[in-house]
């Protein structure tokens, strides 16, 4: 009888909490350093989602390290009350293949709240590269096999994944040069120390506008409309069938967060994704705000599962591990 009373009290407390949620500040964990692309998305979202959540304060908690797994682990272990959330990118789909062991299970230790945006990538080259368009680039690559340096922002980074996919699509090997972040990789690309890089528009648009690099193509399924990228063809249109890479971001809560709370968070997210200021800020980054069914928790989870299937074999075939 006593045990039943305890259970009943706990259930009642959860119901009351759901009805009054949110009643205190919400923390959004960003598993990367402040100032990076994911951090910018989180801060823009925090501003847009405050109003539909009653004006609650939202704190951005940067917990960087281990390719985003440390921050994700913190949220997986957090009290499932809706006050500690995770904003993560494509790493949620690549961590299972990159790490031999993880302190959490991507598909079962989180409540999926909905996707936020898609960030396409761009294939770019050093400014002194003799190839000035994609056709010339393919010819140049064929003439320089074994001599090409392909930079990336680090093992498991979006630029690394895109580079792996590009080599696989062309059925050619390049010398992969990993850096500790996009900034040093971009510096060496602009300086001519490496030849090529494939990185997200949030990192490349400014350099393309300034003509500090040569832009060859985008990895989206359709051409982009931002001024600096609108004239770039897609790799699919250039003959690389099914070549589509985007660095999406999603919102998560710890497993066991009450359904009423996750429902409120999903509803607020949908409102935030329609906020004109949020959309404008994302477009300025070259990002596309999600408007399709992936804003629904079940579809968000299904999408991540498909991305795990997509990237896992490619990462394992390359023999790369982060630990």
Say what the pLDDT of residue 18 is.
57
Mean pLDDT of 238-256: 95
**Of 8-17, 56-65, 214-223, 247-256, which gets the smallest average pLDDT?**
8-17
pLDDT, tens digit, 9 for 90 and up, residues 1-51: 555 444 444 454 555 555 799 999 999 999 988 988 899 999 999 999 999
**Average pLDDT over the chain, rounded to an integer:** 92
Say what the pLDDT of residue 13 is.
52
Largest CA distance in the chain: 80
**Of 7-11, 56-60, 133-137, 264-268, which gets the smallest average pLDDT?**
7-11
**Of 33-47, 50-64, 131-145, which gets the smallest average pLDDT?**
33-47
Answer yes or no: is pLDDT of 322 > 80. Answer: no
* pLDDT band, residue 180 (cuts 50/70/90): confident
Mean pLDDT of 211-218: 97
Bond prior to 22 in cis (omega within 30° of 0):
yes
> For residue 56, which of 71, 65, 46 has the smallest C-alpha distance?
46
Say what the pLDDT of residue 95 is.
94
pTM of the full predicted structure?
0.86
Q: How far apart are CA 152 and CA 123, in angstroms?
A: 12
What are the CA-CA distances from residue 246 to residues 141, 194, 222, 266 (Å)? Answer: 24, 23, 12, 22
**Of 8-17, 82-91, 101-110, 164-173, which gets the smallest average pLDDT?**
8-17
> For residue 114, which of 263, 322, 284 has the smallest C-alpha distance?
263
Mean pLDDT of 133-141: 97
**How do 26-30 and 84-88 pair as beta strands?**
parallel
pLDDT, tens digit, 9 for 90 and up, residues 254-313: 999 999 999 999 999 999 999 999 999 998 878 899 999 999 999 999 999 999 999 999
Q: What percent of the chain has pLDDT over 70?
A: 94
Give all strands (DSSP E) within 174-262, no chain letters. Answer: 175-178, 196-200, 214-218, 249-254
């Amino acid at each position: 009888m006593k045990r039943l009373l305890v259970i009943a009290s706990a259930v009642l407390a959860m119901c009351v909490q759901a009805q009054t949620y949110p009643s205190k500040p919400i923390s959004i964990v960003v598993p990367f350093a402040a100032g990076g692309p994911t951090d910018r998305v989180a801060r823009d979202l925090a501003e847009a989602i405050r109003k539909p959540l009653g004006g609650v304060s939202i704190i951005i908690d940067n917990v960087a390290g281990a390719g985003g797994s440390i921050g994700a682990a913190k949220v997986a272990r957090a009290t499932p009350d809706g006050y500690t959330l995770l904003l993560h990118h494509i790493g949620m789909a690549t961590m299972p293949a990159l790490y031999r062991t993880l302190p959490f299970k991507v598909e079962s230790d989180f409540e999926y709240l909905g996707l936020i945006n898609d960030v396409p990538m761009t294939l770019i080259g050093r400014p002194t590269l003799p190839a000035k368009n994609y056709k010339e680039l393919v010819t140049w690559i064929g003439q320089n096999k074994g001599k090409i340096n392909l930079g990336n922002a680090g093992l498991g980074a979006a630029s690394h994944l895109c580079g792996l996919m590009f080599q696989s699509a062309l059925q050619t090997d390049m010398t992969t040069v990993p850096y500790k972040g996009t900034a040093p990789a971009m510096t060496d690309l602009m300086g001519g120390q490496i030849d090529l890089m494939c990185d997200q528009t949030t990192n490349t648009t400014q350099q393309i506008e300034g003509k500090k690099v040569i832009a060859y193509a985008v990895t989206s399924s359709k051409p982009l409309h931002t001024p600096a990228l609108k004239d770039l063809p897609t790799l699919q249109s250039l003959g690389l069938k099914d070549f589509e890479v985007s660095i999406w971001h999603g919102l998560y809560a710890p497993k066991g967060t009450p359904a009423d709370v996750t429902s409120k968070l999903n509803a607020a997210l949908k409102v935030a994704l329609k906020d004109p200021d949020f959309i404008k800020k994302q477009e300025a980054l070259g990002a596309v705000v999600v408007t399709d069914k992936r804003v629904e928790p079940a579809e968000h989870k299904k999408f991540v599962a498909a991305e795990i299937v997509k990237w896992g074999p490619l990462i394992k075939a390359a023999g790369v591990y982060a630990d």
